Amino acid sequence: MSVLDILPESSSQPNALPSAPRLSHLRQLEAESIHILREVASEFERPVMLYSIGKDSSVMLRLAQKAFFPAPIPFPLLHIDTGFKFREMIEFRDRMAREVGAELHVWRNEPAIAAGTNPIALDTKRCCGLLKTQALLDGLRHHNFDAAFGGARRDEEKSRAKERIYSFRDGAGQWDPKNQRPELWNLYNARIHPGESIRVFPLSNWTEMDVWQYIHEENIPVVDLYFAKERPMYLRGEALLPIEQSFVALPGEQPQMVKCRLRSLGCSPCTGAIRSDAATIPEIIAELLSFRSSERANRVIDHDQEGSMELKKREGYF
């Protein structure tokens, strides 16, 4: 992005001092996120960036490049692989880490994966607990990370709207929503005891629309699954279920070709596609303007029970 985004409020008098140059909201959000990334890199001993391959992670990774330019990103990336991620996601992940020049750690809950954990045999809540939350906690502990960036945004879900930018986690990685540290101005409290950690959310104040606009303006690469094309899908009620390594069809079900895309990326058994013609980022933005459903509506896992995201976060989920 360039100084073109700094718009003088009156466009006349090019040679006069711009009296009140004004920053667009995206530039303000970008500046806030970079400030957070730099604070964490400077105040913690072993920070790590959780890289989930989705659009939010893509934006977060670009912001990290910007924050430390011309120096390299001073922390590694960590991907929690449930074994149920789309093949395209894994390819994209490896390519991005190479291009950015970041060190990439991948952590899997191998015992649970070997035991055949899946959301159909177990319920989604227990599956997430083992393959995501447990793997995350184990991965963080194994590497001794004391701060972990996540791409979560407050506009995603009601309990996330309550998150601090620095979210304190106890020795077991748990969140206590009723006892959060006050967080004033841009002064973040980075003090922790050994074993405790902080989850950091640099995109807290971004909305889904902000993320797509930024991806458009910055030409940030995203996984192809976000773009509409004809894909074989199982139709189950209103849901479009993608065919991946783990899909179990019901008796009599046949896949059909449907023009569709994914609005948010998760594990393949629990992430439904949406019917869409949006094959480019401008088309995605246009589509977003017409949407009347929230982006996580296609995530099976958030709807297990009332307050299920809050419960997962208390247990250590992002």
Partner 1 sequence: MTTLAENTFSIDDFMAGERRKDLLRFSTAGSVDDGKSTLIGRLLYDTQSVYEDQVRSIEGKGTTAPGQIDFALLTDGLRAEREQGITIDVAYRYFSTARRKFIIADTPGHEQYTRNMATGSSTADATIVLIDARKGVLPQSRRHAYIASLLGVRQMLVAVNKMDLVDYSKERFCSIQADFSALLDQIAADTGNPVQPYFLPVSALIGDNVVHRSAAMVWYTGPSLIDLLESLPAARHDHAAPLRFAVQRVLRPDASFRGFAGQIASGSVRPGDAITALPSGRIARVARISTFDGDLDLATAPLSVTLVLDREIDVSRGDLIVSAEAQATVTTDLEASLVWMDVHDLIPDRRYLLKHASHVVPATITSLRHRVLLDSDTPAQSLVHTPAATLSLNQIGVAALRLLRPIAVDSYRDHRLTGAFILIDPATNATVAAGMIRSAQPIPAALAAHLHGANSGPVSARERFLRWGHRGAILTLTGPSALADRVERALFQEGMVTLRLNAHGPATDSASDSLAAQAAASGLLVLLHAETDSDALSVSIGNHSITFSDEDAFTRRLHTLLADSGLLHQPRSPEYEI
CA distance 74 to 64: 9
**Out of 88, 170, 244, 283, the residue judged to bind partner 1 by CB under 8 A:** 283
Determine if 171 is a binding residue for partner 1 (CB under 8 A).
no
Binding status of residue 172 toward partner 1 by CB under 8 A: no
Q: How many residues does the chain have?
A: 318
Among 94, 104, 170, 189, interactor with partner 1 by CB under 8 A: 189
CA distances to 98, 151, 189, 206, 239 from 59, rounded to whole Å, are 16, 8, 25, 10, 28
* Stretch of 1-9, 116-124, 132-140, 245-253 contacting partner 1, by CB under 8 A: 1-9
Applying CB under 8 A, the site for partner 1 has a residue count of 84
Position 292 contacts partner 1 (CB under 8 A): yes
Residue 12 sits in the site that holds partner 1 (CB under 8 A): no
Which residues inside 191-210 make contact with partner 1, applying CB under 8 A? 191-193, 204-205, 207, 209
Does 31 bind partner 1 (CB under 8 A)? Our answer is yes
Using CB under 8 A, pick the residue from 14, 101, 116, 182 that binds partner 1.
Answer: 182
Binder of partner 1 out of 178, 238, 250, 254 (CB under 8 A): 178
Binding segment (CB under 8 A) for partner 1, from list 114-122, 129-137, 141-149, 286-294? 286-294
Whose Cβ is closer to partner 1: residue 113's or residue 192's? 192
- Give 85 or 261: the residue with its C-beta nearer to partner 1: 261
SS3 content of the chain, % helix, strand, coil (to 5): 40, 15, 45
Q: By CB under 8 A, tell whether 183 contacts partner 1.
A: yes
Residues numbered 39-98 forming contacts with partner 1, rule: CB under 8 A = 39, 41-42, 65-72
Binds partner 1 by CB under 8 A, chosen from 5, 94, 304, 315: 5
Contact 72, 257 (CB under 8 A): no
Q: Which backbone phi and psi does 49 adopt, to 5 degrees?
A: -105, 120
Rounded CA-CA distance 31/165 in Å is 14
Check binding of 14 to partner 1 (CB under 8 A): no
Kindly state whether residue 315 participates in binding partner 1, applying the rule CB under 8 A: no
Count of Cβ atoms closer than 10 Å to residue 134 Cβ: 20
Selected range binding partner 1 among 129-137, 230-238, 239-247, 303-311, rule: CB under 8 A:
303-311
Q: 72's torsion region: left (phi>0), alpha (psi -120 to 50) or beta?
A: beta
- The closest alpha carbon to 72, from 45, 109, 97, 46, belongs to 97
Residues 220-279 that bind partner 1 (CB under 8 A): 275-278
Contact status, residue 292 vs residue 155, Cβ threshold 8 Å: no
173-184 burial code (b ≥16 CB/10 A, e <16): bebeeeeeeeee
Calculate the alpha carbon distances from 139 to 109, 115, 148, 158 in Å: 9, 19, 11, 27
